[in-house]
Amino acid sequence: MNAAREPIMDDGIKTLLRGVSASPDAISNESAWIEVIQRMDEIYADIVRYQVQLEEKNAGLEDAQRFIQSVISSMSDVLVVADTGGSIQQVNRALESLTGRTTAELVGQPLAALFSAEYAPKVEDFAEHIRTAAISDCEVELLDANRRATPIAINCTPRFDHHGRLSGLVITGRPLGELQRAYDDLRDAHHQLKTTQQQLVQSEKMASLGQLVAGVAHELNNPISFVFGNMHALKRYEQRLHSYLTAIHDGLPEDEREQLRKKLKIDRLLADIAPLIDGSLEGADRVGQIVEDLRRFSTPANQQQCQGFDLCRVINTAAEWVIKARRVRPVLDIRIPATLTITGYEGYVHQILVNLLQNAADALEDVSQPLIRIRAGIQHEQAWVTVQDNGPGIPSPQLLRIFDPFFTTKGVGKGTGLGLYISYNLATEQCRGSLKADSDEGGALFTLTLPRELAP
Ligand SMILES: Nc1ncnc2c1ncn2[C@@H]1O[C@H](COP(=O)(O)OP(=O)(O)OP(=O)(O)O)[C@@H](O)[C@H]1O
Ligand SMILES: [Mg+2]
């Protein structure tokens, strides 16, 4: 309607009407008419104004509706609105394309008809359920265009009318296929990363094992030569005993037998046998222990076991292996308790200590009086071990990078730059402790802390 339209009667007509009636009655009639016409004009003007306002509001409402509709149809998540009885009132385009059914086909249908038979009863309960609480991240199965069950994660919230009364429910959901795929990809990538990391730890360990072989061989050499020496002595004793017993069996007279007994030193021989056997057993035991340490050290990461072990024994073994493998052997100043039992991954702790000691020994290659200090103890339920050397130390800019993978200052073929990176990860992630580095003119100091009781 046009707001500028003129009132029904203009001033000219009114003047005309006034001119037509001249009698007093006619004059009063005329003024009544004029009043009526004026009222009509006013009312008409009001109607026109209201109509204009109404049309403006209608246009605003239509805009708002178009806006809401465009938002709903561009939603990639599915949307279903249902009344309190569970009948569908509205759906969006995402749901139409997923189910292959139009809004017209779906409106008025029961909500449960959208879902697979397994989930329909659950969905039927929604209308009742949302009276007490909204439903979030509920996994159900929607029937797609081919009536196949499609997993979907939905949220369901109550809808209220303008009086604040419950008038239905609103369901929004996202097909899980996409999420599941993304999740599966992520899990595969994580698995691959873990495997690669384990391989890295293992190959680094094997590389340092190569450097340790000389030290281990040296360690084995002691008890084995001990056992050898004892065996040779026992063999000689066996020959003397054999001669003595043969003489007795041949009926040698008693005084000659006594002379032979003294000559073959049978009494000393008999007293020696037990310590020789004990010593040999001890040597064999030590060999067994070294083999066991080697086995533990080379055990792949996924077979490492969290159990009680003596930290001090691990420190001593690592130090022996590393230092004895060296051409130039630094002096070891080890001041640690006799034993220190903690629960954790012995193999990992061994690997960390070997790395720290190898680095210290490397740093001491050109130092005139090379010294490595090792200390250990317990504080606040944490075991700590420090490895300090009197080498050149680590310059401050490098101190920030030494735990980075592949950071090395050693020549090609001498260092891969993985030792501290792997040690740091083993210390913090697997052993749930810490590894810190400090340095000054006096050399480098590494501090390893480990929980006293690591829960597997
Ligand atoms: N005790 C130390 N004194 C001086 N520098 C050190 C010491 N320990 C580590 N570094 C520095 O940190 C770097 C990284 O050490 P890391 O153990 O990670 O690798 P690497 O010893 O070079 O090689 P590898 O992989 O064979 O261990 C070393 O190259 C060295 O520069
Ligand atoms: Mg190293």
The average confidence (pLDDT) of the chain is 88
Write b or e for each residue in 201-227: b if 16 or more Cβ atoms lie within 10 A of its Cβ, otherwise e: bbebbeebbebbeebbeebeeebbebb
Nearest ligand, CA 418: 1
Instruction: Calculate the dihedral angle through the C-alpha atoms of 54, 67, 126, 143, rounding to the nearest 10 degrees.
Output: 130
Tens of pLDDT, residue by residue over 104-124, are 999 999 999 999 999 999 999
Tens of pLDDT, residue by residue over 258-312, are 999 999 999 999 999 999 999 899 889 889 988 888 887 777 777 888 999 999 9
How close is the Cα of 352 to the center of ligand 2, in Å?
10
Indicate which residue's Cα is closest to atom 5 of ligand 1: 394
pLDDT of residue 127: 86
Which residues are found with C-beta within 5 Å of the ion, ligand 2? 359, 419
- 306-310 vs 331-335, strand pairing mode: unpaired
* Gap between the Cα atoms of 55 and 243, Å rounded: 133
Sort residue 369 into left (φ over 0), alpha (ψ -120 to 50) or beta. Answer: beta
Residues with CB under 6 A from ligand 1: 355, 359-360, 363, 389, 391, 394, 402, 407-410, 415-421, 444
Question: Ligand 1 pocket check: which of 352, 359, 439, 441 to mutate, most ligand atoms within 8 Å of Cβ?
Answer: 359
Tens of pLDDT, residue by residue over 134-147, are 899 898 999 999 99
Indicate which residue's Cα is closest to atom 31 of ligand 1: 409
Question: Ligand 1 pocket check: which of 364, 401, 420, 448 to mutate, most ligand atoms within 8 Å of Cβ?
Answer: 420
Which tops the pLDDT comparison, 211 or 316?
A: 316
Nearest ligand, CA 207: 1
Q: Which of 203, 217, 198, 207 is nearest to 358 (CA)?
A: 207
Rg of the chain over Cα atoms, rounded to whole angstroms, equals 48
CATH 3.40.1280.10 fits 73-180, yes or no: no
Contact 89, 81 (CB under 8 A): yes
Tell me the CATH number for domain 304-456: 3.30.565.10
Q: In the chain, what are the domain boundaries?
A: 11-71, 73-180, 304-456
Tens of pLDDT, residue by residue over 412-442, are 778 888 899 989 999 999 999 999 999 988 8
Q: Is 367 helix (H, G, I), strand (E, B) or coil?
A: coil
pTM above 0.85?
no
Tens of pLDDT, residue by residue over 32-90, are 888 888 988 998 999 999 999 999 999 999 999 899 888 888 888 999 999 999 999 99
Token pair for 215:
């030290």
pLDDT of residue 19: 47
Most confident of the ranges 101-105, 219-223, 253-257: 101-105
- Written in H, E and C, the secondary structure of 197-224 is HHHHHHHHHHHHHHHHHHHHHHHHHHHH
